[in-house]
Chains A and B, each alone.
Chain A
Amino acid sequence: KQEVTQIPAALSVPEGENLVLNCSFTDSAIYNLQWFRQDPGKGLTSLLLIQSSQREQTSGRLNASLDKSSGRSTLYIAASQPGDSATYLCAVYNAGKSTFGDGTTLTVKP
């Protein structure tokens, strides 16, 4: 059974810092990995999708890496802003199912 772990559970940083969120998964036979953002009381917004054959994806200040063999992914956020405050979820997808981590709640202080 696939298990996804995200560390840390919560993170607070001052504005402008670069930061890394971690995601690990137990079964490396994944189809792809997706990072989401969830704002309080709202649904999920997809940030980046990495296919199993890829090593990383970039979008603006976000960079996600994937090391499938070791079961790890990182989400790097450069020059963090207060608007980045949210819960970040990673999900691994295989055989029609996504397994989500519990998320990392990020607070960026002005």
Chain B
Amino acid sequence: GAGVSQSPSNKVTEKGKDVELRCDPISGHTALYWYRQSLGQGLEFLIYFQGNSAPDKSGLPSDRFSAERTGGSVSTLTIQRTQQEDSAVYLCASSSVEGAIDTQYFGPGTRLTVL
């Protein structure tokens, strides 16, 4: 079966523009995560969706960031009025929580460059 896919793989945008990043999780996975990895830094948690529960948005760095998950599957991360500090690799992961088992499977990421 297919793994987690993300699109686009690369995105270059001008400061102030809005961007949308897409994540297609593994079919059947109920949990979906967004992370950000800035150059030379570790992974930063952004947002977490679990089934039909309200998402955990505690990691979103500002109100310019938002995410949706439609139909419990595809997710879109939207960044409004992009800033240069938003430049990073945005990684999506999905998992199937079964009891105490939770392995996250990561997509290849979207490299965002804000000029």
Residues of A within 8 A of B (CB): 31-32, 34, 36, 42-46, 49, 51-53, 89, 91, 93, 96-103
Contacts and interface: CB of A to CB of B under 8 A. Distances in A.
B103 A49 contact: yes
Contacts of A44: 91, 93, 106
Contacts of A32: 100-102
B45 A98 contact: yes
A99 to B, nearest CB: 7
Contacts of B56: 96-97
B45 A97 contact: yes
Interface of B: 4, 31, 33, 35, 41-43, 45, 48, 50, 56, 58-59, 91, 93, 100-109
Contacts of B101: 32, 49, 51
Contacts of B106: 36, 43-46
Given A32-B100, A99-B45, A100-B35, 17 more contacts: A32-B101, A34-B103, A34-B104, A36-B106, A42-B108, A43-B91, A44-B91, A46-B105, A49-B103, A51-B101, A93-B102, A93-B104, A96-B50, A97-B45, A97-B56, A100-B42, A102-B42
A89 B43 contact: yes
Contact of B33 (A36, A52, A98): A98
21 contacts: A31-B100, A32-B102, A34-B104, A42-B109, A43-B107, A43-B108, A44-B91, A46-B103, A49-B103, A53-B100, A89-B42, A89-B43, A91-B43, A93-B102, A97-B48, A98-B43, A99-B45, A100-B43, A101-B42, A102-B42, A103-B42
B46 to A, nearest CB: 10
